[in-house]
Structure 1
């Protein structure tokens, strides 16, 4: 019987199992090392992401490490790491976006990279499942080998199954790689791999970005053929850094060239890899042309917005500046000043429309072109200026880029330098106030853009000009109103002064006797005056019934006839009888003004006047009448025919007759002096004229001084004062031989003192006065008649001082209404 010693078959299986176990242990150890390396790599990459400016690059690198880790970590370990690192790098990227280091568009990559990571994890998970199944199978196989070595056939069958499973796993891995490749192919970003300077792989996004029909148009060509010449040196430097350091380079902006030669703006990040045993570089390229265009448009919009904001701020200043002006001239100056802020020009002017004429109002800048004299008094007709007429009629701006190309431009020698022109109507509603005209010596200087800028100015100018017109009108109206008010105040003050000057009491009465208003002199302390000031409101409460009846009857007559009524009434007041005069003046249909005058003193004055007239008549009869009778008899005696008189007797009689005539003359002169109309004038004026008249005859100087508040004297009193002073002046003329006479009027509240001092010879006051002339006795009598006191101080060689003191009524100053 032959013995089968062929053991090699089983021995080979055990060796295979041992090799498999060894490879499994080695793979496990290697896997642990790789996971450790990946963890360390993640930490270092995070540190670099924080410490450097290449945030995007290290952001992508962390996702790359997580993608690699998906093939080595268990699901729990991978999930923890993915959540931690994705959250961390997202937060760091968000911070970089906030501080402005990274554009906000980069935030869109987070969900995309997370999606890729999930897909990679799914692939890695399935691979892990396959590996785990393989490991379970290996463990199972090892257990069976250890415990059931005698079942080699079963083991072989299991090994066969395991081999089949491993092949299935490898198929799964190939499918996973294919899915990964498809994922890259479907990426929105261009992904290219180049080795030794040539492109070896490119996804469809890259083909589209470079404007190729397929990868055949790209693969095999030098990478630098697609780099913009301005960036070739930079790309070569970055490739060299990756080859030397075996590390990726950060994200950077570059420009690529498409196949048709057009430029495309890109962001590029690259990492070195190994492809089929050869070093290569995998490059992720993002087309940012749209973003660049958006940024360019955004810059244009920002510039436009800044320009518009500046224009708005300028116009705001324009409105404020124009609104702050209140005069027509300053508004015109401000319009030209603000126009220069908005538009550059050589010269400018403002013309105002008056009918069919344009009148120059303001101009500036024409001195430079020797045109100032032309513009100073410029007055133009719209008929002669087609362009200005067009602006006025259409109320639309007119822009002439080049005046020499416009047939409607009116050429004048003084303004031939104008090459471009713009005219804007200043409109207020449908009314054209004038034109704002800008001139430039440069053709093509003005455009519609300038019109848009100036339109707001002319609108504000129209409002400002109208405001100044209204302001001037209001100011004129206010001035007229102030004048009227002043006139009314003066009239009221005059009326009040007239009322205050009227010594009568005034009542404003209604037909039924109701007292509406009144004015009572302060010095009037009679019983009826006290009743009025005490609050009585009707005539019945103030006057006796019979007087009230008279007043009401005369009031009815005055109101009916519209004619002033006057009547007198004797009223017993405080145990005295006073003569009252009532004057009733109608002021309306049912109202009258009643002027109540106390004429008791007037009546007494009239009586005194009659008495004085009687006295004068008596004096004329007793003195002048006798003298005239004597002279008549003498003249009749010597004028008779046949009268024989010797010459000496005739001479003596004539001398005596002359003395009688002189005496009569003096009597008449004194009477005339007391009765002349000047006696009613102010005392100091009449007295000064009287003294100067005498002084001119007697050749002495007169000086009159008045102290205090002068006031009118009663006519009788003033007549007597003038008689006394006239007699004193006559005495100075006849006897004193004076050179200077000083007269002082001293007005006190209740008295008047008159001092008359001369520097003449003087006399003894105790010597009797010469008979036949006005003397000191007559002067004393006249002073007594007016309740005065006359004192005369004199001595020979020391001149004479005459002092006359008389009582006067106090001054009452009524309040003046404000």
Structure 2
């Protein structure tokens, strides 16, 4: 019997390992591996909390939750604290254990959120790889009030595999970001060394050629060539800035000021509390501001623009406002341009809010608020 149990355990670990080794998407991986775990162990219900360094948790995967726990779009699983989270955060939960009573289930019964389908207890085990912790794996079955030491040991092994896979995926994502940044820098340098220099040479050539003729038609054509090459040069410099924001290493205030000057805008900056913004938030604000300043340059009909960026304890607010032409806009309708849609998408990817205030002849204001961990 012991040998049979051992073979079952090895089979379970092999199945889980195969699922984890094929995964590159974290959310899909967690849901797939949870379903596989329940299937091979015969357990009915499971859920996974991912927990960040600040102790904030997210329900990242779940399977076969009873109505009492899936009430109102998983509200019982997404709000409030519980004993397993409390023990995890105060370092008391370091290995797989039985949770005698589950606060979420008790609340579901007390407030009559629905049928618990006989689930009253669950096992919980931290997801970890070495000294790094990522969250909790919880599993349960109807009328099961106790997990054996063998079951808990198996869950610990599975949780370690999941933790290792999470670390692998996180490292891969970081490598991809670094590779993307290196490629953007390479492309920016290539554009600067080739196309940018050619356009600059064309501008000088047109200017020199104008001094060599008195023919009005030729002078007009050369002037037009000079204007076009200067416009193309400005567009190319803006593109290079978008690929590799010169000055962002000195902070977003310097970068925005230099970019506005490069576009020929007269920017009034009011920036405070942003010296230690997280890198991903700083870059998102920079990209959003770039697009907003580009829109001002192209469409506002004014060179004056006000830029405000202020950080409070748990959020950063940015407003870019001009007193230009404005445009017709209604909240109920889709955004009228790809640039505005891109700004909104960047904001919402960071769980932020994006709003526009504009009227024809009354200017435009872009408001962005992004939470900070």
TM-score by length of 1: 0.24
Give the number of the structure whose residues are more often helix, by fraction: 1
When normalised by structure 2's length, the TM-score is 0.48
Higher Cα Rg: structure 1 or 2? 1
The structure whose RCO (Cα within 8 Å, separation 6+) is larger is 2
